[in-house]
Amino acid sequence: MRLSTDKLFTLDAKRCACGGFHAPQDHSEFLASMPQNPADLADDLIKMGVYKPQVLKLADQINRTEMLETLVLERLSQRNPEKEPILREMIRQAGGLDQAMVAAFGPQASEFFTDTLRAGPYSRRRFLTQVLVAASVIGLTATQGERELSAQAQGSLEKTDLRIGFIPITCATPIIMAEPLKFYEKYGLNVQVVKMPSWAAVRDSAIAGELDAYHMLSPMPISITLGLGSTAFPIKLASIENINGQAITVANKYKDTLKGPADFKGFTIGVPFPYSMHNLLIRYYLATGGLNPDTDVQINPVPPPDSVARLTVGDIDAMLMPDPFNQRAVFEGAGFLHMVSKDLWPGHPCCAFAASQSWIDANPNTFRAVNKAIIDGANYASQAENRAEIAKAIAPREFLNQPEEVVAAVLTGKFEDGLGNTFDIPDRIDFDPYPWQSFAYWITSQMVRWNLLEADQADYSQIAQDIFLTDLARDLARELGQTPPAEMLRVETLMFDSFDPSDPAAYIQAQIDRYGV
């Protein structure tokens, strides 16, 4: 409950909202004396008649679901983790979270409203405090009862039958596994995951509104929203699907000659899409060897399912692709792993769950539910003991259509590199759904560096805040009992440098100065 005193009173010498004529300083002195504690302020406003008894009586007519929804929406409009100490104090004043929830939302809520009208100031004050607490903290705790209350607060789902597009790669693990492992069903959804042939098809389908939501490369919501390479169309990045999980794979004929980035000169290199982490990361790597990615090599978009065949027949010399296709190239004897992407940037984002702004606006409760299912699934996938089960669930033809042993090698991190070495890297691919806005800053900086985005269009803060739904991802994670970060930005540590999001332009210039490109 937010009460804005400047809307209650007009500070001039005309007739005022309080019903009389006063000089401006009279109101100033009065407002200065108003209590700052929200519960005290609400109590005083009732005494003053701002809340009329007839208005309070309307509470008897509000059913439980409507009241929950109203209060939770009020909380969501104030998402701010720094308010937590204040909320803790309010919980204490309310007599504890359980009492606040029961008083505000319990089966006798209507009777409690009525009793409040007859009770003395202390009871009314306690009730108001409890409602404030419940409206503010619902979703910050994780007991099953509170999850049920939160679900009721969201209202009914606008849609339950959904179609979500995906590319058959391990990066899509949370989106794919949520169907066979019934994470969607857990949140009241019946989801069909739909295999897409390429990222261009995902983009075009999103703009056409052909599916409900999408598996996208994490730069794609930025590029599509800004109209880079397509019609401008607002897309929101709801959660990160995977971190790490890619590799630089090179054709076997270069086993004895390729040692570092400078040795890629003259290569034709496959990436899944121009607006991809793969394209940005291979450019980052090549530049450290003094190569200009636009003149010293040829970088071509290759749909991931075609990549191993293209490497086998020599159409491409190397690729930075999502798995399992790097591992499949080793499995087929077509190439070797030069480097896993975790080495280039530990914890880097790759793919994301995304939906259009128009779809979210039309289906806010459904969007929240499906995003929650995916965040829940990502947490499950992050646990090493679940990886073998997941590999079995997503390897079949309708999903990845890959040998289970290839998928398991990627997910478990126990793999061979095609050079006779065996590795055990548990986080070769990992799953952390939190959409750090510093990811958006780095992606935008590299789009500027490689002339994919004009520098004067690079409003870093605006792009990150408008497109990455970090606040919502944090709220949903907390409702699930997880402990997401309170911060939105952090310094990112890469193989050759560190990225400070406070000054992206300086970072770009430092890269150019150091490597000449």
- The CA-CA-CA angle for residues 161, 202, 459, to 5°, reads 110
Specify the 3-state DSSP secondary structure of 236: strand
pLDDT at 76: 37
pLDDT digits (tens, 9 = 90+) for 446-481: 999 999 999 999 999 999 999 999 999 999 999 999
pLDDT at 25: 52
Average confidence (pLDDT) over 243-256: 97
Residue tagged 């890619």 (tokens): 246
Confidence of residue 244 (pLDDT cuts 50, 70, 90): very high
Average confidence (pLDDT) over 97-107: 51
Q: Which of 40-44, 145-149, 286-290 has the lowest mean pLDDT?
A: 145-149
CA distance 468 to 46: 40
Confidence of residue 39 (pLDDT cuts 50, 70, 90): low
Average confidence (pLDDT) over 148-170: 79
Q: Give the DSSP H/E element, type plus range, for residue 165.
A: strand 161-166
Burial label, 146 (beta-carbon count in 10 A; 0-12, 13-18, 19+): buried
Q: Are 347 and 341 in contact (CB under 8 A)?
A: no
Confidence of residue 313 (pLDDT cuts 50, 70, 90): very high
Percent of the chain exceeding pLDDT 90 equals 70
Eight-state DSSP code of residue 106 = S
pLDDT at 46: 59
Percent of the chain exceeding pLDDT 70 equals 70
Q: Which of 91-95, 138-142, 288-292 has the lowest mean pLDDT?
A: 138-142
Pairing of strands 422-424, 243-244: unpaired
pLDDT at 202: 96
pLDDT at 165: 98
pLDDT digits (tens, 9 = 90+) for 353-385: 999 999 999 999 999 999 999 999 999 999 999
pLDDT at 6: 41
Which residue, 55, 62, 48, is CA-closest to 16? Answer: 48
Give the chain's mean pLDDT.
82
Average confidence (pLDDT) over 229-253: 97
CA distance 444 to 467: 12
Q: Are 159 and 187 in contact (CB under 8 A)?
A: no
pLDDT at 41: 58
What the block records as the tokens of 20 is 């009389």
**pLDDT at 130 exceeding the cut of 90:** no
**pLDDT at 29 exceeding the cut of 60:** no
Specify the 3-state DSSP secondary structure of 383: coil
What distance, in Å, lies between the first and last C-alpha atoms of the chain? 54
CA distance 75 to 69: 10
pLDDT, greater one: 293 or 42: 293
Q: Give the DSSP H/E element, type plus range, for residue 195.
A: strand 190-195
pLDDT digits (tens, 9 = 90+) for 328-360: 999 999 999 999 999 999 999 999 999 999 999
**pLDDT at 237 exceeding the cut of 90:** yes
pLDDT, greater one: 106 or 176: 176
The arrangement of strands across the sheet holding 161-166 comes to 190-195, 161-166, 213-217, 351-356, 235-240
**pLDDT at 49 exceeding the cut of 90:** no
Q: Are 191 and 370 in contact (CB under 8 A)?
A: yes
**pLDDT at 489 exceeding the cut of 80:** yes
Q: Are 279 and 273 in contact (CB under 8 A)?
A: yes
**pLDDT at 319 exceeding the cut of 90:** yes
Q: Does the CA dihedral 502-508-509-511 come out positive or negative?
A: positive
Which residue, 360, 299, 370, 179, is CA-closest to 291? Answer: 299
pTM score: 0.73
